[in-house]
Structure 1
Amino acid sequence: MPLADLPDRPPADPFGAFCHENHVALRATGAGPLSGLSLAIKDVFDIAGSRTGFGHPAWLATHAPAPATAEAVARLLAAGADLCGRTLSDELCYSISGENFHYGMPINPAARDRLPGGSSSGSAVAVATGLVDVALGTDCGGSVRVPAAYCGLFGMRPTHGAIPLAGVAPFAPRFDTVGWFARDAHLLQQVGEVLLGPAPSAGFDRLLIAQDAFAQSDPHVRALLDGAVERLAGLLGPAAPVRLSPDGLEGWLDTFRTVQAWEIWQSLGGWIDETKPAFGSGVGQRLAAARLIGTEEAAAARARADIIAAALATTIGEGLVCLPTTPGLPPLRATASAEIETAYRARAMQLLCPAGLGGLPQLTIPVGTVDGAPVALSIMARRGKDVDLLDLAVRAFSGLPIMPERP
């Protein structure tokens, strides 16, 4: 259906999830397992004949309408989903807070006084409010996993390369993935079957607890995390401890950040130098640092990342790894940006970077609330075990009550 024949504004949006300047809606192009379901997409996915904003008004103003629709979106439309609109992204995706200097911050419906998480903030909020059934985001450093955790959703970061990035705004190709959100595990699995295609589920041979990751979690959320691990142990047997990083997750984060920043500048630096757009302080500081990374420094970091990926594959094998998605509760909205960067972002990224470095699939599971705010556990596996993760999430957490509030 032509764009002109579709609604010219997004759904009623009291939580600020949707884009208005470049709104687009599309009917499903086929019938299938997602027929009758509603879809939203992060403002990094191309839609033929419409402009992608990438979370920044200058990007929107300097880019022509897309010639084709992103492959991931096309697959969901062909499976029967109706596209309701685009959702807000953090500026150029370079944040995990949900704050956008130009468009504001969506309201987290699960904890209105706390951050919604980013950079797929709008997609998570649209699903958490019930405005749509499912939403697409992207995950490089945690941009699906964090908002899923903060908004009390199931969220999936698939194996790197498992879903084509054709028609997605460029960022850091080594780590970029298409991801998605749903309010229950079964629907998350249905979307995965469409995006990933059919694949057998082989299961897992052991349950592993990432001790160095759990050491980063706040004590007041541990009871909920431990309860979720016990539920998985009921299916897989007792958990065994493991260290993901013998040398420390902080060093892994340094490697991740160097490679990511260098790739981001290769993708976006030319446009930034030509356009000279304005950025919020946090994103602006990270981009300024990315500009300074040299070729030799980046090459050394990439070599370290290759070694880390090989070590992770050996450590995990056919096992299932449990780890906190984030260190604790979502920070309060009133928290200063500088404090988020120094007191929280680095801790969170230590938990998030292993999946990126290894190209691994990681699934976020809501396991309850503390002080009215969501808590999430992640399950992670070797490359290619996406279907197994989705199947286990359904078996362990679909149709069962989410664990209760803990004081």
Structure 2
Amino acid sequence: MIAVPSDDPVHALVPHTLKEPLLGATTGPLAGLTFMVKDLFAIKGRKVSNGNPSFYEHASPAHATAPVIERLLASGASCTGVTICDEFFYSVLGSNAHYGQPVNVRAPKHVTGGSSCGSAAAVAAKMCDFALGSDTGGSIRVPASFSGLYGLRPTFGRIAMEGVTPMAPSYDTVGFLARKAELFRNVGRVLLEGARVEATIERLILAKDFFLHAEASADQALWRALDRIGGALPEPEREEIAGQEIDEWRNAFRLIQGFEIQSTLLPFIQSHDTQLGPGVKERFEAAAGITYREAEEARHVRAHIKEKLDALARPGTLIVLPTTPTLPPERGIPDGASFAEFRNHTLAYTCLSGHSGLPQISIPAAEAAGCPIGLSFIGWHGGDEALLDLAVRLEPLLTKAG
């Protein structure tokens, strides 16, 4: 008997969550499983808030359910909740000034990461089997790393964005989170569409600059994890990926994302005098001031980045790097000036897949100071299934050692 949760021990759900489950088919590859969705997916007859009560107040009920949800229902999974996200998805912290901060059961004194924070909290707390979120600048990969979960940002365009609130459309993707690799792969098989490019993994590039600039405790734990799984992977070739250009890469993402927001979220905020939480308010103000020329210059930088990463990530080649450069910050950190350094450092690591459109998986690989740490593999265009298979292959090695 599928039912919605009667309580919410980790504060993962929005006040307007489901009262009755959306029941999946009685048969299918995901039959009997449950999932929850980030508060930006359309569900017929219901409204989304995008993490802001004012938006929810003015929104109209959806005329149709997002196709990505329909695919899961048709595969047998039932939707049992709508989860909290960072306000208008404009954060990687995992805190909402209006709805609160979900609890990270894997590290209760620390944040879940965001913006798909409620989805990560719910999966980690076993409130559901898996969850949907979105990833524009790291919103699946960061909470996956901080919450000890598997998370996939797919090849750009391989999961339908129809019925999902846009933020920065040239970066937006639907992603998903799960605790176990086999289930994670099964969900991916249901959701992934479009061109699949099969290749045997024969080359592994270790992004030495990204390991070098990671927090020492995280870096050391991930090196130990790499030692444990080394026999299952090609001998790594150490290469510098971004080098001195990394600040330019991150800034290009900031400028393009902010310029695209001028056409998606900003019009509502400005026309309704929307009250925004600290940090988010300042980022929207900065986004409003980005010029067309700045965005165009950033797009030229992005084209250079894409060309470079595409040349590296040929079919059969993976790039390995820490998912995040730091352990999760402690709860209570204000989303303001003190958060800026963490945000900038994190976006420098997560912008690679966004700029290139390449798929990236975060796997729960290690732990330091009581906090989970994710290890990421960036694959080739259409190589999502190879990443899912890799997760299944590596899980027993990491579980046995951990």
Fold similarity call, TM over 0.5: yes
Match of 1:342 in 2: 340
Distance 1:119 1:399 in 2: 30
Distance apart, 1:212 and its partner CA: 1.5
Residue segments in structure 1 that go unaligned for 5+ positions in a row: 1-5
Match of 1:92 in 2: 88
- 1:22-61 matches, within 5 Å, as 22-23=17-18, 25-29=21-25, 31-61=27-57
Match of 1:114 in 2: 110
Q: Sequence identity, in percent?
A: 39
- 1:179-328 matches, within 5 Å, as 179-197=175-193, 199=196, 201-318=198-315, 319-328=317-326
Q: Which segments of structure 1 move beyond 6 Å, counting only runs of 4 or more?
A: 6-9
Match of 1:103 in 2: 99
- 1:353-368 matches, within 5 Å, as 353-368=351-366
Distance 2:2 2:185 in 1: 29
Instruction: Spell out, residue by residue over 1:17-46, the C-alpha distance to the aligned partner (whole angstroms, 9 max, x if none).
Output: 011224353001462110010110000000
Relative to the length of structure 2, the TM-score reads 0.95
Of 124-133 and 234-243, deviating more is: 234-243
Distance 2:30 2:64 in 1: 22
SS at match of 2:213: coil
Instruction: Spell out, residue by residue over 1:45-72, the C-alpha distance to the aligned partner (whole angstroms, 9 max, x if none).
Output: 0001111111111111111100011111
Query: Cα distance 1:200–1:30, how it changes in 2: closer, same or farther (>3 A)?
Result: farther
Instruction: Spell out, residue by residue over 1:269-305, the C-alpha distance to the aligned partner (whole angstroms, 9 max, x if none).
Output: 2111111111111110100000001112112211221
Query: Cα distance 1:339–1:185, how it changes in 2: closer, same or farther (>3 A)?
Result: farther
Relative to the length of structure 1, the TM-score reads 0.94
Matched residue count: 399
Quick check: 2:211–2:322 contact (8 Å CA) kept in 1? Answer: yes
1:164 aligns with 2:133: no
Distance apart, 1:80 and its partner CA: 0.4
Quick check: 1:216–1:347 contact (8 Å CA) kept in 2? Answer: no
Instruction: Spell out, residue by residue over 1:209-245, the C-alpha distance to the aligned partner (whole angstroms, 9 max, x if none).
Output: 0012112211112232112323443123211011222
1:81 aligns with 2:77: yes
Distance apart, 1:267 and its partner CA: 0.7
Aligned pair partner of 1:396 in 382, 394, 397: 394
Quick check: 2:36–2:82 contact (8 Å CA) kept in 1? Answer: yes
Distance 1:118 1:311 in 2: 28
Distance apart, 1:402 and its partner CA: 6.0
1:71 aligns with 2:73: no
Query: Cα distance 1:35–1:63, how it changes in 2: closer, same or farther (>3 A)?
Result: same
